[in-house]
Amino acid sequence: MRLGAVVAVLAWLLLVSGYDLRERRLPNPLTLTGAGVILVAAAGAGRGGGGG
């Protein structure tokens, strides 16, 4: 699971970086999707819980 998440994040980073270098902007669908996936993965890993 963890290796799959790392591979997915690295692939997303490469995709977003390549797009940014070509177009000089970040597309909302890639940015928002990536942010959502990272938040869900963090919650599933027991991170990002309450501060108490």
* In a domain? residue 22: yes
Quote the number of domains for the chain: 1
Distance CA 18, CA 39 (A): 23
Decide if 16 contacts 26 (C-beta within 8 A). Answer: yes
pLDDT of residue 21: 93
* In a domain? residue 21: yes
Q: Structural domain of residue 9, as residue ranges?
A: 2-41
* In a domain? residue 48: no
* In a domain? residue 52: no
pLDDT of residue 38: 80
* In a domain? residue 46: no
Count CA atoms within 13 Å of residue 49 on its CB side: 5
Q: What is the pTM of this model?
A: 0.61
Task: Give the confidence band of 48 by pLDDT, cuts at 50, 70, 90.
Answer: low
pLDDT of residue 22: 94
H or E stretch at 17: helix 2-23
pLDDT in tens, 21-39: 999 988 888 888 888 888 8
